[in-house]
């Protein structure tokens, strides 16, 4: 089994968003690092997902409902659910897709 330090992988690009695939298999895991003030527009996914917020602060809009993104928050995302994100501070999270 491989061991990964996610905190060591966190890196912010001024005014940008960085995504890094951590694991690709039955469950796809991607680390997102969103610089303060960045956003990801509304979209959907054909896969079921879960977001785990590592650090930062932002807003995750899921089917029209705002959810505060802060350390330790877990957000479950159903298939084809409309969602968008906005980082108020530098924010990193893991996205798990099945």
Domain of residue 60, CATH code: 2.60.120.10
- The parent domain of residue 65 ranges over 6-97
23 within some domain: yes
72 within some domain: yes
59 within some domain: yes
20 within some domain: yes
Give the span between the Cα atoms of 8 and 88, in whole angstroms: 22
User: SS3 of 37, please?
Assistant: coil
The predicted structure's pLDDT at residue 4:
81
The pLDDT-based confidence of 79 (bands split at 50, 70, 90) is very high
Q: What's the mean per-residue pLDDT of the chain? A: 96
Question: Total structural domains in the chain?
Answer: 1
Q: Name residues whose C-beta falls within 8 Å of residue 1's C-beta, 6 or more positions apart in sequence.
A: none
The pLDDT-based confidence of 1 (bands split at 50, 70, 90) is very low
pLDDT digits (tens, 9 = 90+) for 23-63: 999 999 999 999 999 999 999 999 999 999 999 999 999 99
1 within some domain: no
* pTM assigned to the model: 0.94
13 within some domain: yes
């Amino acid at each position: 089994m491989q061991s990964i330090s996610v905190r060591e992988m966190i890196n912010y690009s001024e005014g940008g968003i960085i995504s890094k695939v951590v694991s690709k298999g039955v469950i796809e895991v991607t680390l997102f690092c969103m610089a303060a003030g960045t956003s990801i527009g509304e979209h959907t996914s054909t896969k079921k997902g879960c977001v785990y917020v590592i650090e930062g602060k932002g807003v995750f809009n899921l089917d029209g409902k705002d959810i505060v993104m802060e350390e330790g928050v877990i957000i479950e995302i159903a298939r084809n659910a409309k969602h968008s994100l906005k980082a108020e501070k530098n924010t990193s999270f893991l996205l798990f897709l099945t």
